[in-house]
Structure 1
Amino acid sequence: MESLQNAFDTAGGVVWGPFVLIPLLLGTGLYLTVRLGGIQFRTLGRAMRHGLIDNSDTDGKGDISNYQALTTALAATVGVGNIVGVATAISVGGPGALFWIWVTGLVGMASKYTEAFLGVRFRTTDAKGEISGGPQYYLKRGISGPLGKILGVSFAAFAVIASFGIGNMTQANAVASNMEGTFGIDPMLTGVIIFIFVGAVLLGGIQAIGRITAAFVPMMIILYVTAGIVVLILQAGQIPAALALIFTDAFTGTAATGGFVGAGIMLAIQFGVARGIFSNESGMGSAAIAAAAAKTSHPVRQGLVSMTQTFIDTLIVVTITGLVIVTAGVWDTGRETAGVMTANAFSTALPGEWGGTIVSLSIIFFAFSTLIGWSYYGERSLESLVGRIGTIPYRMLFTITALIGATVELDLVWSFSDLANGLMALPNLVGLLILSGLVARETKAYLKFDPKLRATPEEVAAFLRAQGSDWK
């Protein structure tokens, strides 16, 4: 087992290292930002309004509303990475790692827009009449020849594997650990509760997932962000120095201090980008699976809504975590404290046990929501490989795996999950680059027609007919 873990760690270090995934992620995001004319900066306000307030797309073809698609994607991405992952990045790469998480999020918004656009653009209907889409479809349908098929199958296979690791066992373990540490509940009991609740949700399919995340996700994010803002208000005097430290260390590295062993620029970049993508999943292609199920009158509309998920995840939730850690002065206590670093940071400002309790509850909520979101990603990926016949066995295995994950040690699973996540992103990023021309052309045409995202479904349908598009 030790040899196997070393092998996974070595392979993961190569995939997530400075010569493979990190430059590909940043390069793809930057290229798409330029190719799409800085779409994340030009349209963010309209996209937020359309996703959170407007209801103009409720009559479009799809299984869930575009708001439910957004919350399903948020459910899968706002997880342990937003709390423990950020702490890990800072504890190893120094405060400068937070700057590179921000960079990853900003350019990643263009990647998230592109993959969500393509998820809707090339979606299809399965044997049960439900909408299916995501990289496993747009890579095969959008890229002609064997290359598209190879990329699509590779993505689907790695997504199924990742769904049991980073999307299941690690999340269930995080829930169980925090339930035991905060409330003294036995991990086996927590595992049984997770088994029952996850199983009940999965029986209802994407409609049930969409309804639950639409109600559950905003509540959990508001709870955590509000607590974080309270902490930052109480420590407002430390914010200017913290921001100066973050920006300075991003380009100079961080000297050894306290339990922190020191880090160069490359370590800050590596951990900032790796934990940034772990948090918001931009470029991985997973959120495109949820986007494809949305009721929308045009792919551009859902692409813009999905893009806001990265903004909420990284530029809001992750920023709260990072600033609280740095302003509290606990970032230099060493990597071995990363698991409790955020809780310790909240506890420095909040009275009694409130800080640790809020963080523990947030981890529980975030991890459980990630379980729900990833169950859908894995199921749809498996369906693209074997058809609807794999749906019920997958749901059964997923719930059983969650029970196991709550009760066992997961060092090997974490290493394997990091590797699977990286391998899952590679075919998707290649596909985004190949299909970027199509995305740029159709995005430009639609935003020229409907710059304020106010067109009615009938007007959009007329636009599509005028374009000679057979998309529905």
Structure 2
Amino acid sequence: MLLEKKTRNFLNYFNKRDGCVILAATEAGLMNKLNEILSLIDGFIGGSQWFVFLLLGTGLFFTIYLKFPQFRYLGASLRIVRGKFDRAGDEGDTSHFQALTTALSGTVGTGNIAGVALAIHLGGPAALFWMLVTAMLGMTTKFVEVTLSHKYREKASDGTIAGGPMYYMKNRLNMRWLAVIFAIATIFSSFGTGNLPQINSIANSVHATFGINKLLIGGVLAVLLGFVIIGGIKRIAKVTSRLVPLMAVIYFVGALAVIFYNYENIIPSIRAIFGDVISGTSAAGGFLGASFAFAFNRGVNRGLFSNEAGQGSAPIAHAAARAHEPVSEGLVALLEPFIDTIIICTLTGLVILSSGVWTEKMENHFQDADLQILAGTYSDSNELDRSSLATYLLEEDGIALFSGELDVVDGQIKSDVTVLHARSVAENVEVLKDGKAFSGSLTVVNGHVPLEQKVDFYGRSLIHSAPLTTEAFTRSWFGDYGRYIVAVGLLLFAFSTAISWSYYGGRAVTFLFGVKGVIYYRLVYVLGFFFASFTDTTIVWTLSGITIALMTIPNLIGILMLRKEMKSEVSSFWKEYSDFFARR
């Protein structure tokens, strides 16, 4: 029924009249329509249950098939990353540690700060549990994809090492068409995962903290990004190997300060993470509740966005590592989801839950894509209304959207409506135009106010993404100075992610068009980085969900097809590994 409803909604965007196809309700605003269309596409792909089961199922299969390598091989992983298994003459462009930090800088980004906050905002504390499950299974998935990609890497025409899933698809599976699909998806994903949401979160956080203009933030960072990525993998590896440890220390100090400041909430927070897994999270404060299915789906989706296991991105960085044995680099990669999600995302989740900000309504400027106007008056303090609103948020049914003229006097809405923002009932809503209280009528179409009316909504509602994490970091001994920790941490995390993803996209361009096409890709990448600094947050997150899925599906199909070869590689590796250390 839900699939049929989504299909009907998608088709209803278009009306045929006089033989011409026209976009319905264009006055409802370009941003709203774009976000709705992207959300529908995401619902069929990355937001669908089949994608979630494919992702988790692949990780679970390899975990059992390879006999739980994420637990048995951690010691060897730490030994290899320190260079204990290296040989003189190993071919590659980076060390194991540099490959790890480059890949980590590609995953440790807004998913750890804004993504965890969004997952909890959508699915409640239980979403964090499913993020952790995704990471545990993802450790095995990443081990497999990196090993296979490293084995079939090539040397590019400029002498550098080129690798990634597209190379095992071409060289081992003889499926160049699948490799092409993956490479194209990688280019799009470099924008949807590593570029657009990163600078978007940076700009929002720095603007909220320091009041700096978003255009200025985007312009300065775009120039810095261009300077770094023009130097290729060696300069990228040098920068990320210094950035990752620095940003980890800064973030850990701030996170632990919040958690221990609110020490009385640590146990209740952990209980909520595990206790709501089956039942879902009930309404609390401004939070209207989330079902098991919703928490499961959003937690897994955000978990993949955070550690990218199965997406095929990290193998591109690890392919450049100096190693004579592909499995050894796979073991190094096994550490990534552990560090990225199990450690950093858990810290962020405990910060948000222990501080209590995830259920509190805050004064904020309403984002248009998060704003809906419902017909009739509803209150989240009324149990029946709260139940109706929760059902509407989960199923998008049962409550009518308001259409018509909205009466506003001195900034106050007089019509019989309810303003819904960030999945919560907004309070103390004020409508401004050019910074002054608005009086008059606003045309509302299907719950949305057209952008061309140029009005702004302010009030109290739940917040999500980077602003939610930023608010949580103020609930410690640092007070308002905690905002600076998030702003600086987010700046370093997200900027390093954008650096790494430029390399991933550049390698995909090299595969498709040769080395000569990389310079044009980098130019577009930097321009996109600038323009995304002032793009609506919700739309960017929705786009990222689609690009993740388009990149992940071909990679998961490929590694499943090579499961027997993977098992054989692991067996031969351990013989060499044992002999190597027996001689020392």
For the criterion TM > 0.5, the same-fold answer is yes
Query: Are 2:257 and 1:130 equivalent residues in the alignment?
Result: no
CA contact (8 A) 1:347 1:355 kept: yes
Alpha-carbon deviation of 1:276?
0.2
For residue 183 of structure 2, give the secondary structure of its aligned residue in structure 1.
Answer: helix
CA contact (8 A) 1:46 1:452 kept: no
Q: Deviations over 1:286-336 (max 9, x none)?
A: 000001011112111110101101110011100100111112222323744
For residue 252 of structure 1, give the secondary structure of its aligned residue in structure 2.
Answer: coil
Structure 2 CA distance for partners of 1:252 and 1:207, relative to 1, 3 Å: same
Among candidates 260, 277, 284, match of residue 233 of structure 1:
260
Among candidates 367, 371, 387, match of residue 498 of structure 2:
371
CA RMSD of aligned residues (A): 1.9
Distance in 2, matches of 1:261 and 1:442, equals 50
CA contact (8 A) 2:200 2:535 kept: yes
Q: Which amino acid in the other structure matches residue 275 of structure 2?
A: T
Alpha-carbon deviation of 1:241?
2.0
Query: Are 2:205 and 1:175 equivalent residues in the alignment?
Result: no
Structure 2 CA distance for partners of 1:453 and 1:204, relative to 1, 3 Å: farther
* Corresponding position of 1:319: 346
CA contact (8 A) 2:201 2:537 kept: no
Structure 2 CA distance for partners of 1:237 and 1:370, relative to 1, 3 Å: same
Q: Deviations over 1:94-135 (max 9, x none)?
A: 111111111000000000001110111110011111100101
* Corresponding position of 1:291: 318
Alignment: residue pair count: 454
CA contact (8 A) 1:90 1:331 kept: yes
Query: Are 2:568 and 1:441 equivalent residues in the alignment?
Result: yes
Among candidates 348, 367, 378, match of residue 475 of structure 2:
348
Q: Which amino acid in the other structure matches residue 305 of structure 2?
A: F
Identity of aligned residues (%): 40
Query: Are 2:270 and 1:243 equivalent residues in the alignment?
Result: yes
For residue 479 of structure 2, give the secondary structure of its aligned residue in structure 1.
Answer: coil
CA contact (8 A) 2:93 2:320 kept: yes
Q: Which amino acid in the other structure matches residue 276 of structure 2?
A: D
Among candidates 119, 133, 158, match of residue 89 of structure 1:
119
Distance in 2, matches of 1:50 and 1:161, equals 33
Alpha-carbon deviation of 1:381?
0.7
Distance in 2, matches of 1:237 and 1:12, equals 39
* Corresponding position of 2:41: 11
Distance in 2, matches of 1:212 and 1:55, equals 24
Query: Are 2:59 and 1:29 equivalent residues in the alignment?
Result: yes
Structure with greater helix percent: 1
Query: Are 2:463 and 1:337 equivalent residues in the alignment?
Result: yes
Alpha-carbon deviation of 1:266?
0.8
Q: Which amino acid in the other structure matches residue 409 of structure 1?
A: D
Q: Which amino acid in the other structure matches residue 158 of structure 2?
A: K
Q: Which amino acid in the other structure matches residue 156 of structure 1?
A: A
Distance in 2, matches of 1:38 and 1:364, equals 36
Query: Are 2:308 and 1:281 equivalent residues in the alignment?
Result: yes
CA contact (8 A) 1:114 1:432 kept: yes
* Corresponding position of 2:248: 221
* Corresponding position of 1:160: 187
Among candidates 509, 521, 530, match of residue 394 of structure 1:
521
* Unaligned stretches of 5+ residues in structure 2: 1-29, 362-421, 423-461
Structure 2 CA distance for partners of 1:120 and 1:256, relative to 1, 3 Å: same
CA contact (8 A) 1:91 1:333 kept: no
Structure 2 CA distance for partners of 1:349 and 1:309, relative to 1, 3 Å: same
TM-score (ref. length: structure 1): 0.92
Structure 2 CA distance for partners of 1:364 and 1:58, relative to 1, 3 Å: farther
Distance in 1, matches of 2:141 and 2:579, equals 21
Query: Are 2:510 and 1:383 equivalent residues in the alignment?
Result: yes
Alpha-carbon deviation of 1:452?
9.4
Distance in 2, matches of 1:448 and 1:12, equals 45
TM-score (ref. length: structure 2): 0.75
Q: Which amino acid in the other structure matches residue 382 of structure 1?
A: V
Distance in 2, matches of 1:142 and 1:193, equals 43
* Corresponding position of 1:470: none
